[in-house]
């Protein structure tokens, strides 16, 4: 692991912690400049290709998913940790399916379900785009369903 301060390639591990998603956080110290830094290791597991509505295929993009969820949660009392947890759960679920391809709708449905539990306003924001709620009546119907459940 290269030191981010002096670029030296030798460092020693001071501490190691594991998270619930299989990641490993290591606290390191450079053997040359003695600066301390952290690294995070996450296993690279294959995620399936997403089959879009028009039949095209696209790699799963964690950053694209993150952007969409963050936009829905903007100015809402949803912590970054909760958003990261939701993204991690979705990615993990896709990997555990063990399939080469899944419809992109599967990811959208997971986001909708997660946001519904996380924040109802964020859910409505995402649903307007995802469910193509094109008029006020459609939005009102979705809000009424949300209030009933």
Give residue 128's pLDDT.
94
Whether the pLDDT of residue 3 is over 70: the answer is: yes
Helices 104-118/80-97 angle, 10° precision: 150
Question: 78-113 pLDDT, tens per residue?
Answer: 999 999 999 999 998 998 888 999 999 999 999 999
This prediction has a pTM of 0.68
- Among residues 65, 60, 55, the alpha carbon closest in space to that of 100 is found at 60
Q: Give percent of the chain with pLDDT exceeding 70.
A: 99
**According to the model, what pLDDT value does residue 46 have?**
81
Q: Which of 121, 110, 119, 106 is nearest to 87 (CA)?
A: 110
Q: What was the pLDDT predicted at 49?
A: 93
Res 19: pLDDT: 79
Listed by start position, the domains of the chain span 11-41, 49-148
Q: HEC states along 45-112?
A: CCCCEEECCCCCEECCCHHHHHHHHHHHCCCCCCCHHHHHHHHHHHHHHHHHHCCCEEEHHHHHHHHH
According to the model, what pLDDT value does residue 23 have?
Answer: 83
Question: So what's the pLDDT on residue 123?
Answer: 96
Q: Which residue has the higher pLDDT, 23 or 130?
A: 130
pLDDT digits (tens, 9 = 90+) for 12-47: 999 999 877 678 999 999 999 999 999 988 776 788
Residue 75 pLDDT grade (very low, low, confident, very high; cuts 50, 70, 90): very high
């Amino acid at each position: 692991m290269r030191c981010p301060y002096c670029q030296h390639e030798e460092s020693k591990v001071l501490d190691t912690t594991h998270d619930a998603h299989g990641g490993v956080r290591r606290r390191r110290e450079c053997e040359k400049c003695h600066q301390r830094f952290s690294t995070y290791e996450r296993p690279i597991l294959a995620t399936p290709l997403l089959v879009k509505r028009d039949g095209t295929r696209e790699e799963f993009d964690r950053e694209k998913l993150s952007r969409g969820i963050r936009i829905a949660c903007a100015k809402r009392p949803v912590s970054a940790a909760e958003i990261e947890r939701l993204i991690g759960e979705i990615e993990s679920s896709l990997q555990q399916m063990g399939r080469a391809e899944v419809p992109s709708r599967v990811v959208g449905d997971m986001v909708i379900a997660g946001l519904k539990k996380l924040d109802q306003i964020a859910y409505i924001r995402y649903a307007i785009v995802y469910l193509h709620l094109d008029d006020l009546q459609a939005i009102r119907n979705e809000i009424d369903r949300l209030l009933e459940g």
